[in-house]
């Protein structure tokens, strides 16, 4: 197979996905390969490419097939126990970095893409990350090792229940499941990504509501809370936040596509 044939076979994929396949198969930086349309793959490379394309036909996400995904310019291991990191979430991470928190708790860490990036970008003194899923925590721990971030305390917990926390935390950050079980979800996501990471009852808002109720009764004081939520959930999120946490100021912010997808709750008078 030559590059021109590969590009024809993968024309439905993005340039990033095509590059990910080539880098995986050739085990080298492929930035220059696109300049030579007649680049000849070896027989074994051709077989490897064909095997990947065959799996893609079954709607397996490319990131699970290759075992990694990119987030904030870093490579994260992923498997079917964790959600594939989404680029929108990078906006949430950027916002969190702007707050310069010294102490951070991430609830629902999955692959660890949020907490590992924050650990890498900030000199925070205390970083805790939790998930209800043991296999997800294993992936997050392994990503922390790969990225050489050593200072994260990973804990298995159902939201804030049974977490060991200090009395005050600068930032609680969470991208919890928020998909309404009755809503449309792309087939590859529905078939292959963990339902534990996707779906939440009450139209997708059960996890966020429960988390905020636990914040209200927690002996830990959270100065800032950052949440990611789904398309069109802004109004319901506003109602929930104002009802459960009236002692916080609420602001919303948008992702790269101008979709309101995040909120910032800031404790008043601090």
Ligand X SMILES: C[S@@+](CC[C@H](N)C(=O)[O-])C[C@H]1O[C@@H](n2cnc3c(N)ncnc32)[C@H](O)[C@@H]1O
Report, in Å, the least distance between residue 4 CB and ligand X. 35
Applying CB under 6 A, the span of 14-22, 35-43, 111-119, 230-238 interacting with ligand X comes to 111-119
Which residues lie closer than 8 Å to 145 by C-beta, 6 or more apart? none
Closer by beta carbon to ligand X, 10 or else 81: 81
Report, in Å, the least distance between residue 39 CB and ligand X. 34
Q: To which H or E segment does residue 263 belong?
A: strand 260-267
Q: Does 204 bind ligand X (CB under 6 A)?
A: no
Measure the CA angle with vertex 88, ends 234 and 94; round to 5°: 95
Residue 198 — φ and ψ, nearest 5°? -105, -55
Pattern 58-97, ligand X, x by CB under 6 A: ------------------------xx-x---x--------
Number of residues that bind ligand X (CB under 6 A): 24
Closer by beta carbon to ligand X, 90 or else 170: 90
Q: Helix, strand, or coil here: 65?
A: helix
Q: Does 233 bind ligand X (CB under 6 A)?
A: no
Q: Does 159 bind ligand X (CB under 6 A)?
A: yes
In 3D space, the residue among 270, 232, 224 whose CA is nearest the CA of residue 251 turns out to be 224
Closer by beta carbon to ligand X, 10 or else 117: 117
Residue whose token pair is 């800032």: 224
Closer by beta carbon to ligand X, 61 or else 108: 108
In 3D space, the residue among 13, 38, 39, 12 whose CA is nearest the CA of residue 28 turns out to be 39
Residue 13 — φ and ψ, nearest 5°? -95, 160
Tell me the residue length of the chain: 270
Report, in Å, the least distance between residue 115 CB and ligand X. 8
* Sign, Cα dihedral of 114, 142, 164, 134: positive
* Binder among 6, 65, 105, 108 for ligand X (CB under 6 A): 108
Applying CB under 6 A, the span of 62-70, 109-117, 147-155, 182-190 interacting with ligand X comes to 109-117
Which residues lie closer than 8 Å to 118 by C-beta, 6 or more apart? 93, 96, 97, 104, 106, 124, 127, 173
Closer by beta carbon to ligand X, 113 or else 118: 113
Q: Does 116 bind ligand X (CB under 6 A)?
A: no
Contacts with ligand X, residue ranges (CB under 6 A): 82-83, 85, 89, 107-111, 113-114, 130-133, 136, 158-159, 175-177, 196-197, 207
């Amino acid at each position: 197979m030559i590059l021109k044939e590969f590009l024809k076979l993968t024309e439905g994929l993005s340039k990033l996905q095509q590059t990910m396949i080539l880098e995986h198969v050739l085990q080298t930086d492929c930035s220059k390969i696109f300049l030579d349309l007649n680049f000849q793959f070896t027989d074994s490379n051709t077989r490897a490419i064909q095997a990947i394309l065959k799996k893609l036909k079954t709607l397996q996400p490319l990131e699970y097939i290759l075992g990694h995904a990119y987030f904030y310019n870093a490579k994260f291991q992923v498997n079917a126990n964790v959600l594939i990191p989404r680029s929108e979430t990078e906006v949430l991470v950027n916002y969190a970095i702007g707050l310069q928190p010294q102490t951070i708790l991430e609830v629902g860490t999955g692959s660890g893409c949020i907490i590992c990036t924050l650990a890498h970008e900030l000199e925070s003194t205390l970083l805790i990350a939790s998930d209800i899923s043991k296999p997800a925590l294993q992936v997050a721990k392994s990503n922390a090792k790969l990225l050489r971030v050593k200072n994260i305390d990973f804990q298995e917990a159902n939201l804030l229940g049974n977490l060991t926390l200090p009395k005050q935390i600068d930032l609680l950050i969470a991208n919890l499941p928020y998909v309404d079980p009755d809503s449309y979800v792309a087939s590859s996501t529905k078939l292959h990504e963990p339902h534990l990471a996707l779906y939440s009852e009450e139209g997708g808002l059960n996890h966020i509501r429960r988390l905020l109720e636990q914040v209200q009764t927690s002996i830990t004081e959270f100065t800032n809370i950052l949440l990611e939520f789904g398309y069109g959930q802004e109004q319901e999120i506003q109602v929930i936040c104002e009802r459960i946490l009236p002692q916080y100021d609420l602001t919303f912010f948008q992702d790269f596509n101008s979709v309101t997808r995040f909120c910032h709750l800031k404790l008043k008078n601090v």
